[in-house]
Structure 1
Amino acid sequence: MSDVKDDAVAAPRAAREPHRARLKLITVIATFGGLLFGYDTGVINGALPYMRSDLGLTPFTEGLVTSSLLLGAALGAVAGGRLSDRRGRRRTILLLAVVFLAGTLGCTLAPATAVMVGSRFVLGLAVGGASVTVPTYLAEVSPAERRGRLVTQNELMIVTGQLLAFTFNAVIGNAFGESGGVWRWMLVLATLPAVVLWFGMLVLPESPRWLAARGRSGEALAVLRQVRAAHRAEAELAEVEQLAAADERSRSGGWADLATPWLRRLVGVGVGIAVVQQITGVNSIMYYGTQILTGAGFSANGALTANIANGVISVLATFAGIWLLGRRNRRPVLLAGQAGTLCALLLIGIFSLVLPAGTGRAFVVLALTVTFLAFQQGAISPVTWLMLSEIFPLRLRGFGFGLCALVLWLTNFAIGLLFPVLVDGMGISGTFFLFVVLGLGAVAFVAKHVPETRGRSLETLEEELRARYSAR
């Protein structure tokens, strides 16, 4: 503890030390995986209207093109985690960079819908793999006192990638919107960060925790000396080896543990939290925001430009959410976020019904989508990922988190697939009213079942949750 305190007091001096510069470089390069995650999930927002005519898309195939990435991400999240355990975090991220590049080129050159769907699925494998491997790598390289801050930078890079996608969509669409295949230029830009990620990871070290878990203590110490002050590296190696041994024991966690009633209930709560995050309808706006704004009354180019506001507010709200979670309990923040998103969705549905199509309705809907994202990205999304990393006991943490991530991506897939079909059949108002009904159920679930996790060590929290869910 004294080492951590000394580092905090001597921050100005430590900032000049090489290990801090090295750690910053690792964070910047590794989070290009998050940037790609954000860009590839956000770029479809502006590209889809142009694909519709070039590829002859129907409402169903629009949903299929969008959601095929999400189905791939569900598989990639599970496979990526297992691969990184076996082959290492660094090697897995290198492989993901190649998959990002291959998937992007496949989408860019796709001559028909079937090829586009297949390429988006491949791209999804990389997105899902990055969603679990990059945060794990950052957590294992970071010192304890900076871990939260460095890991959450990946979340910032995700929303930054979405903002870049919205911005480039607007620039390209406004400049070349009448040209055939303009969507291909929107997609191909993602090759650049994929190349940066691959070359960058070549010069980065492997996770010291992964190395220690495989008995490669000398290599683990060499990595720690790169990213720690000299007086901390050797002392921390013993802690890393102890944690690695605990992780090795924890691998016994799996389906058999669900026979224990309190663990089964706890996993059910985790799955519920994952579903709650998705049924707000957030990704209907992140994937189909341009179409929503066009339907509200914007021109095609105007919708592309206005959609940048959704990206800007997502970045700003994520900053605010990180600050808020350091000062407020998790459950009230989550409930406040749900209340805010419910009101925004309800008002979008109402104003889409009562206001005539035109500029007035267009700007009202834009203001409400921005409000929705402020509550979603500032409260619901950060709480979701934080609580899922906290609630599971050590032996079940990897399995439980992976299962919840799988359910989250599958729910995301279902919403991405069905949203254009619902809008075609029910209209935008009816679709958002449906999200409101689902949201009311989500509020009831959180109020009744989700525990508070702030201010407790993971060990204390495990004992509290064991007592809470064993008593039911």
Structure 2
Amino acid sequence: MDLIAVVATFGGLLFGYDTGVLNGALEPMKHDLHLSTTTEGLVVSTLLLGAAAGALLCGRLADAIGRRKTMIILAVIFFIGTVGAVVAPNLAVMLPSRVVLGLAVGGASVVVPVYLSELAPTERRGRLGGRNELAIVVGQLLAFIVNAIIAAIWPPATATNPDGYSNIWRLMLAICAIPAICLFVGMLRMPESPRWYLSKGKTLDALKVLLQVRTEDRARAEMAEVAELAHEEELQQTGGWADMAIPWVRRIMLAAVILAIAQQVTGINSVMYYGTQMLKTAGFSDSAAPIANIFMGVAAVVGSAICLFFLVDRIPRRTLIISGMIAVTICHGLTVLSSLIFPTGSVAQAYAVLIFVALFVLAMQTALNVPVWVCLSELFPLRLRGFGMGLSVLVLWLTNAAVGQFFPALIEAGGITGTYSTFFVICAVFAFLIYKTLPNTSGRSLEELEESFAAGDFR
């Protein structure tokens, strides 16, 4: 089972690398492809729009042809999108390639967690499922490290360093082909989900897979459980837009949408996509910024690990999420204060911004990454979970794309002070909205939650 988890989470690793690699590649790409502030944002946001489409499409594809085959197809799409971006001579080729990569990223965000949860033993499901979230931030950290190494060996051509090497960003992007190949080769040898087999009436195939990853007694005992899970999966498809006429359903959908938007408007992905450029604005040199940016990746990995191994099952979701929103709001406020106290572009300001933004990333990954995803999956009763999660994740990706599109213009117009003042105000507003709308989903079954919500109890 551990080998299956390692292979499957190459999808999460690809997700992380693809979303993080532009952090260092964007500045030389901007120089070589002559990108404006608007087209710079498009290079980022087109991947995220593709991811929104991929998340919607690949769930149905995985139900139709199987989780394993879908992940093999996603590995091919990752590779095709990577090659297209690497060889792109201009924006007309780059943007469609980023959309293709986005389809794979969004597909992986849906299919990998499902595949892991359906193969994992009950007592290890949370821990193994959480590995995908950890793999995503590890992929982002690897992207930051690779970018820093390449930039140190071959300083890229930028607006402030026109004599540097051209097309270094192509090498940064090309590294993504390696985990795509590993995912493709690895999944060829992995089993299909027994739950999917059972949903197609292939009982013997489902048992055969379980016998590969369990003892014989355990495998046969789990067949009844898998059959029940398959039945529950069918129930998830019964809810839809008609249910929005029910007041309590609208209430929990509002809470879910607010939560999805809040996670993205914290600005976490602006750091993951544009961290190197943001650090240059704060005062780091072209050579120092990629190295300093590695601390953002380290903070993300540490925060995710703390959450997965120590917090997510021990602190009520509502408490953890509200505490996280307060923490990131405070970090944004400290970033603004440091930009006001220290001279613009000074070493003191640069390191103060680095410290407070890294603390923001740590707080975000500790309290607002995994807990938000877990809470979204728990808010909806079984028959509405597929519809509710689908709509919530779509809103989340679209918000992500909007932040990715407008951040370059925001940092250019407002600098560190204006940008993080904006995030400070938005986070404070959404902390209040979450406090007013989000019920606690910990410690109660889905049936108990549905009874409470239907009775108007949203505590």
The question of a shared fold, defined as TM-score above 0.5 by the shorter chain, is answered with: yes
What is the match of residue 293 of structure 2? Answer: 307
Which of 131, 143, 154 is the equivalent residue of 1:153?
131
What is the match of residue 373 of structure 1? Answer: 361
Q: In structure 2, what residue type is equivalent to 1:217? A: T
Q: Deviations over 1:425-470 (max 9, x none)?
A: 233311211111111111111111101111122222222222236x
Provide the C-alpha distance between the structure 2 equivalents of 1:143 and 1:233, rounded to a whole number of angstroms: 10
Provide the C-alpha distance between the structure 2 equivalents of 1:75 and 1:180, rounded to a whole number of angstroms: 33
Matched, 1:94 2:72: yes
Matched, 1:247 2:245: no
Measured after TM superposition, the shift of residue 344 of structure 1 is 1.2
Give the stretch that moved more between structures: 161-170 or 171-180. 171-180
What is the match of residue 232 of structure 1? Answer: 218
Which of 39, 59, 64 is the equivalent residue of 2:37?
59
- Number of equivalences: 449
Q: In structure 2, what residue type is equivalent to 1:63? A: G
Give the stretch that moved more between structures: 417-426 or 363-372. 417-426
Runs of 4+ displaced beyond 4 Å: none
Q: In structure 1, what residue type is equivalent to 2:331? A: A
What is the match of residue 221 of structure 1? Answer: 207
Provide the C-alpha distance between the structure 1 equivalents of 2:235 and 2:380, rounded to a whole number of angstroms: 15
Q: In structure 1, what residue type is equivalent to 2:143? A: A
What does 1:93-132 align with in structure 2 at a 5 Å threshold? 93-132=71-110
Length-normalised TM-score, structure 2: 0.96
What is the match of residue 394 of structure 2? Answer: 406
Measured after TM superposition, the shift of residue 310 of structure 1 is 0.5
Matched, 1:426 2:404: no
What does 1:3-152 align with in structure 2 at a 5 Å threshold? 23-152=1-130
SS at match of 1:300: coil
What does 1:178-217 align with in structure 2 at a 5 Å threshold? 178-217=164-203
Measured after TM superposition, the shift of residue 228 of structure 1 is 1.4
Q: In structure 1, what residue type is equivalent to 2:64? A: R
Q: In structure 1, what residue type is equivalent to 2:268? A: V
Matched, 1:263 2:249: yes
What does 1:277-288 align with in structure 2 at a 5 Å threshold? 277-288=263-274
Which of 145, 148, 164 is the equivalent residue of 1:170?
148
Over the matched positions of the two proteins, sequence identity in percent amounts to 51
Matched, 1:335 2:313: no
Matched, 1:445 2:433: yes
Measured after TM superposition, the shift of residue 53 of structure 1 is 0.8
Structure 2 runs not aligned, ≥5 long: 156-163
SS at match of 1:101: helix
Q: Deviations over 1:306-362 (max 9, x none)?
A: 100110111011011111122211112111111111111122223223311221111
Provide the C-alpha distance between the structure 2 equivalents of 1:264 and 1:36, rounded to a whole number of angstroms: 35
Length-normalised TM-score, structure 1: 0.93
SS at match of 1:451: coil
Which of 346, 351, 355 is the equivalent residue of 2:338?
351
Q: In structure 1, what residue type is equivalent to 2:110? A: V
Q: Deviations over 1:186-211 (max 9, x none)?
A: 00000000000001001111111111
Measured after TM superposition, the shift of residue 398 of structure 1 is 1.2
Give the stretch that moved more between structures: 321-330 or 245-254. 245-254
Q: Deviations over 1:32-81 (max 9, x none)?
A: 00000000000000000111110001111111111110110011110111
Measured after TM superposition, the shift of residue 264 of structure 1 is 2.0
Give the stretch that moved more between structures: 139-148 or 263-272. 263-272
CA contact 2:281–2:415 (8 Å) conserved in 1: no
Provide the C-alpha distance between the structure 2 equivalents of 1:121 and 1:352, rounded to a whole number of angstroms: 36
Provide the C-alpha distance between the structure 2 equivalents of 1:363 and 1:174, rounded to a whole number of angstroms: 20
Q: In structure 2, what residue type is equivalent to 1:31? A: T
Q: Deviations over 1:353-395 (max 9, x none)?
A: 3311221111111101110011000001111111011111111
SS at match of 2:288: helix
Which of 447, 454, 457 is the equivalent residue of 1:459?
447
CA contact 2:194–2:210 (8 Å) conserved in 1: yes
Provide the C-alpha distance between the structure 2 equivalents of 1:248 and 1:384, rounded to a whole number of angstroms: 24
CA contact 2:278–2:411 (8 Å) conserved in 1: no
